[in-house]
A and B are shown apart, each in its own frame.
Chain A
Protein backbone atom coordinates (compact mmCIF):
# COMPACT_ATOMS: atom_id res chain seq x y z
CA UNK A 1 0.00 0.00 0.00
CA UNK A 2 1.16 3.48 -0.68
CA UNK A 3 2.03 5.80 2.17
CA UNK A 4 3.55 9.25 2.54
CA UNK A 5 5.25 10.37 5.74
CA UNK A 6 6.29 13.86 6.76
CA UNK A 7 8.06 13.63 10.08
CA UNK A 8 8.51 17.34 10.68
CA UNK A 9 5.37 18.77 12.22
CA UNK A 10 6.57 22.35 12.17
CA UNK A 11 9.63 24.37 11.26
CA UNK A 12 10.53 27.96 12.04
CA UNK A 13 13.19 29.81 10.06
CA UNK A 14 14.40 33.33 9.61
CA UNK A 15 13.52 35.22 6.49
CA UNK A 16 15.92 34.90 3.54
CA UNK A 17 17.36 31.60 4.74
CA UNK A 18 17.03 28.15 3.15
CA UNK A 19 14.75 25.49 4.54
CA UNK A 20 14.40 21.80 3.72
CA UNK A 21 11.25 19.81 4.43
CA UNK A 22 11.47 16.04 4.52
CA UNK A 23 9.17 13.48 2.97
CA UNK A 24 9.47 9.72 2.58
CA UNK A 25 7.08 7.51 0.70
CA UNK A 26 6.21 3.86 0.27
CA UNK A 27 5.07 2.29 -2.95
CA UNK A 28 5.22 -1.02 -4.77
CA UNK A 29 5.16 0.67 -8.16
CA UNK A 30 8.26 1.26 -10.22
CA UNK A 31 6.71 4.35 -11.73
CA UNK A 32 5.09 7.12 -9.72
CA UNK A 33 4.74 10.88 -9.42
CA UNK A 34 5.62 13.01 -6.42
CA UNK A 35 4.16 16.42 -5.68
CA UNK A 36 4.47 19.20 -3.17
CA UNK A 37 1.54 21.45 -2.36
CA UNK A 38 1.17 24.46 -0.12
CA UNK A 39 -1.89 25.34 1.93
CA UNK A 40 -2.15 29.00 2.83
CA UNK A 41 -3.81 30.49 5.87
CA UNK A 42 -6.97 31.01 3.83
CA UNK A 43 -7.12 27.26 3.25
CA UNK A 44 -6.29 27.37 -0.42
CA UNK A 45 -4.16 24.44 -1.63
CA UNK A 46 -1.70 25.37 -4.34
CA UNK A 47 0.54 23.12 -6.42
CA UNK A 48 4.23 23.93 -6.15
CA UNK A 49 6.43 21.38 -7.88
CA UNK A 50 6.48 17.83 -9.23
CA UNK A 51 9.03 15.03 -9.66
CA UNK A 52 8.46 12.06 -11.97
CA UNK A 53 10.10 8.92 -10.61
CA UNK A 54 11.85 8.09 -13.88
CA UNK A 55 13.62 11.45 -14.01
CA UNK A 56 17.02 11.58 -12.35
CA UNK A 57 17.34 15.34 -12.45
CA UNK A 58 15.86 17.17 -9.47
CA UNK A 59 12.98 19.45 -10.36
CA UNK A 60 13.29 23.20 -9.81
CA UNK A 61 10.63 25.89 -10.05
CA UNK A 62 11.46 29.40 -8.94
CA UNK A 63 12.82 29.26 -5.41
CA UNK A 64 11.51 25.72 -4.90
CA UNK A 65 13.63 22.69 -5.66
CA UNK A 66 13.52 19.02 -4.84
CA UNK A 67 16.05 16.61 -3.42
CA UNK A 68 14.94 13.30 -4.92
CA UNK A 69 16.73 10.29 -3.47
CA UNK A 70 15.03 7.32 -5.06
CA UNK A 71 16.97 4.58 -3.22
CA UNK A 72 15.85 6.14 0.05
CA UNK A 73 12.28 6.77 -1.19
CA UNK A 74 12.78 10.37 -0.20
CA UNK A 75 11.63 13.62 -1.80
CA UNK A 76 12.68 16.68 0.14
CA UNK A 77 11.45 20.19 -0.67
CA UNK A 78 14.02 22.96 -0.53
CA UNK A 79 12.96 26.59 -0.37
CA UNK A 80 15.74 29.10 -0.84
CA UNK A 81 15.62 32.77 0.14
CA UNK A 82 12.49 32.24 2.18
CA UNK A 83 9.95 35.05 2.46
CA UNK A 84 7.32 35.82 5.06
CA UNK A 85 4.65 34.81 2.58
CA UNK A 86 6.13 31.31 2.38
CA UNK A 87 4.61 30.69 5.81
CA UNK A 88 2.09 27.92 5.21
CA UNK A 89 1.49 24.20 5.57
CA UNK A 90 3.37 22.13 3.03
CA UNK A 91 2.09 18.77 1.88
CA UNK A 92 3.97 16.04 0.11
CA UNK A 93 1.89 13.73 -2.10
CA UNK A 94 2.35 10.70 -4.30
CA UNK A 95 0.46 9.11 -7.13
CA UNK A 96 1.22 5.65 -8.41
CA UNK A 97 1.33 5.29 -12.16
CA UNK A 98 0.77 1.57 -12.55
CA UNK A 99 -1.07 -0.25 -9.77
CA UNK A 100 -4.75 0.41 -10.21
CA UNK A 101 -3.73 3.66 -11.88
CA UNK A 102 -6.68 5.35 -10.30
CA UNK A 103 -4.82 8.61 -10.24
CA UNK A 104 -5.56 9.40 -6.62
CA UNK A 105 -3.05 11.41 -4.64
CA UNK A 106 -1.98 10.19 -1.23
CA UNK A 107 -0.88 12.99 1.07
CA UNK A 108 1.39 13.28 4.05
CA UNK A 109 0.11 15.05 7.14
CA UNK A 110 1.96 18.24 6.33
CA UNK A 111 4.71 20.43 7.74
CA UNK A 112 3.90 23.89 9.04
CA UNK A 113 6.51 26.43 8.03
CA UNK A 114 6.79 29.72 9.84
CA UNK A 115 9.13 32.31 8.38
CA UNK A 116 10.18 34.93 10.91
CA UNK A 117 11.20 38.48 9.93
Chain B
Protein backbone atom coordinates (compact mmCIF):
# COMPACT_ATOMS: atom_id res chain seq x y z
CA UNK B 1 0.00 0.00 0.00
CA UNK B 2 1.73 3.13 -1.23
CA UNK B 3 -0.74 5.40 0.49
CA UNK B 4 -2.27 8.44 -1.15
CA UNK B 5 0.01 9.65 -3.89
CA UNK B 6 0.17 13.28 -4.89
CA UNK B 7 2.09 14.74 -7.78
CA UNK B 8 3.97 16.93 -8.19
CA UNK B 9 5.31 17.50 -4.69
CA UNK B 10 6.31 21.02 -5.53
CA UNK B 11 5.04 23.34 -8.22
CA UNK B 12 6.00 26.89 -9.03
CA UNK B 13 3.78 28.85 -11.38
CA UNK B 14 3.78 32.38 -12.60
CA UNK B 15 0.88 34.62 -11.74
CA UNK B 16 -1.94 34.04 -14.19
CA UNK B 17 -0.82 30.56 -15.21
CA UNK B 18 -2.78 27.37 -14.70
CA UNK B 19 -1.84 24.70 -12.17
CA UNK B 20 -3.08 21.12 -12.14
CA UNK B 21 -2.52 18.95 -9.11
CA UNK B 22 -2.91 15.18 -9.18
CA UNK B 23 -4.01 12.70 -6.58
CA UNK B 24 -4.14 8.91 -6.58
CA UNK B 25 -6.21 7.68 -3.61
CA UNK B 26 -5.62 4.44 -1.80
CA UNK B 27 -7.00 1.56 -3.81
CA UNK B 28 -10.48 0.65 -2.63
CA UNK B 29 -11.15 3.97 -0.96
CA UNK B 30 -14.35 5.48 -2.25
CA UNK B 31 -14.14 8.87 -0.57
CA UNK B 32 -11.62 11.44 -1.76
CA UNK B 33 -11.02 14.87 -0.25
CA UNK B 34 -8.99 17.93 -1.12
CA UNK B 35 -7.72 20.29 1.56
CA UNK B 36 -5.58 23.41 1.48
CA UNK B 37 -3.12 24.24 4.25
CA UNK B 38 -1.73 27.68 4.99
CA UNK B 39 -0.16 29.16 8.08
CA UNK B 40 -3.00 31.62 8.55
CA UNK B 41 -6.05 29.49 7.71
CA UNK B 42 -4.76 26.10 8.75
CA UNK B 43 -6.33 23.06 7.11
CA UNK B 44 -9.27 24.15 4.98
CA UNK B 45 -11.68 21.73 3.36
CA UNK B 46 -12.09 22.30 -0.36
CA UNK B 47 -14.08 19.48 -1.91
CA UNK B 48 -15.17 15.85 -1.54
CA UNK B 49 -15.97 13.01 -3.95
CA UNK B 50 -17.71 9.77 -3.13
CA UNK B 51 -17.60 6.98 -5.68
CA UNK B 52 -16.24 9.59 -8.11
CA UNK B 53 -19.31 11.80 -7.76
CA UNK B 54 -18.89 15.32 -6.40
CA UNK B 55 -20.65 15.50 -3.04
CA UNK B 56 -19.56 18.71 -1.38
CA UNK B 57 -17.58 21.54 -2.91
CA UNK B 58 -18.54 24.11 -0.31
CA UNK B 59 -14.91 24.98 0.39
CA UNK B 60 -13.89 25.61 -3.19
CA UNK B 61 -13.38 29.21 -4.23
CA UNK B 62 -16.14 29.88 -6.74
CA UNK B 63 -13.85 31.17 -9.39
CA UNK B 64 -10.72 29.64 -10.87
CA UNK B 65 -10.84 26.39 -8.83
CA UNK B 66 -12.24 23.12 -10.12
CA UNK B 67 -11.87 19.47 -9.23
CA UNK B 68 -12.64 16.29 -11.08
CA UNK B 69 -12.52 12.60 -10.44
CA UNK B 70 -12.75 10.90 -13.83
CA UNK B 71 -12.08 7.43 -12.44
CA UNK B 72 -11.62 5.73 -9.11
CA UNK B 73 -7.86 5.89 -9.28
CA UNK B 74 -7.27 9.58 -9.63
CA UNK B 75 -8.54 13.05 -8.95
CA UNK B 76 -7.31 16.43 -10.12
CA UNK B 77 -7.50 19.91 -8.70
CA UNK B 78 -7.12 22.65 -11.26
CA UNK B 79 -6.48 26.29 -10.50
CA UNK B 80 -6.83 28.69 -13.38
CA UNK B 81 -5.17 32.08 -13.51
CA UNK B 82 -3.21 31.42 -10.32
CA UNK B 83 -2.71 34.26 -7.88
CA UNK B 84 -0.10 34.68 -5.12
CA UNK B 85 -2.77 34.04 -2.49
CA UNK B 86 -3.25 30.56 -3.96
CA UNK B 87 0.19 29.64 -2.65
CA UNK B 88 -0.34 26.83 -0.14
CA UNK B 89 0.09 23.14 0.42
CA UNK B 90 -2.73 21.23 -1.24
CA UNK B 91 -3.52 17.93 0.40
CA UNK B 92 -5.48 15.02 -0.95
CA UNK B 93 -6.96 12.43 1.38
CA UNK B 94 -9.00 9.28 1.03
CA UNK B 95 -10.93 6.87 3.20
CA UNK B 96 -13.10 3.82 3.04
CA UNK B 97 -16.83 4.06 2.51
CA UNK B 98 -17.68 3.58 6.18
CA UNK B 99 -18.28 6.98 7.70
CA UNK B 100 -16.46 6.49 10.96
CA UNK B 101 -13.11 5.58 9.49
CA UNK B 102 -10.14 7.89 9.44
CA UNK B 103 -8.85 9.63 6.35
CA UNK B 104 -5.37 9.04 5.06
CA UNK B 105 -3.49 12.02 3.71
CA UNK B 106 -1.05 12.30 0.88
CA UNK B 107 2.17 14.21 1.35
CA UNK B 108 0.76 17.23 -0.38
CA UNK B 109 1.69 19.49 -3.25
CA UNK B 110 3.35 22.76 -2.30
CA UNK B 111 2.16 25.35 -4.79
CA UNK B 112 4.06 28.60 -5.04
CA UNK B 113 2.72 31.35 -7.27
CA UNK B 114 5.32 33.97 -8.12
- Enumerate chain A interface residues (CB-CB to B < 8 A): 33, 35, 37, 42-47, 50, 52, 91, 95, 97, 100-110
Contact = CB atoms under 8 A, between A and B. Distances in A.
A47 B4 CA distance: 13
B33 A105 contact: yes
Nearest to B91: A45
B114 interface: no
B48 A52 contact: no
Contacts of A108: 42
Contact of B45 (A33, A100, A106, A109): A106
A44 B45 CA distance: 17
B100 interface: yes
B43 A91 contact: yes
B43 to A, nearest CB: 4
Q: Is the interface of B mostly helix, strand, loop or mixed?
A: strand
B48 A102 contact: yes
Contacts of B58: 102
Interface in B41-68: 42-43, 45, 48, 50, 55-56, 58-59
A97 B99 contact: yes
Nearest to A96: B99
B31 A103 contact: yes
Interface string B84-108: 0000010100010001101111011
Contact of B105 (A44, A52, A106, A110): A44
B89 to A, nearest CB: 7
A108 to B, nearest CB: 7
A61 B42 CA distance: 26
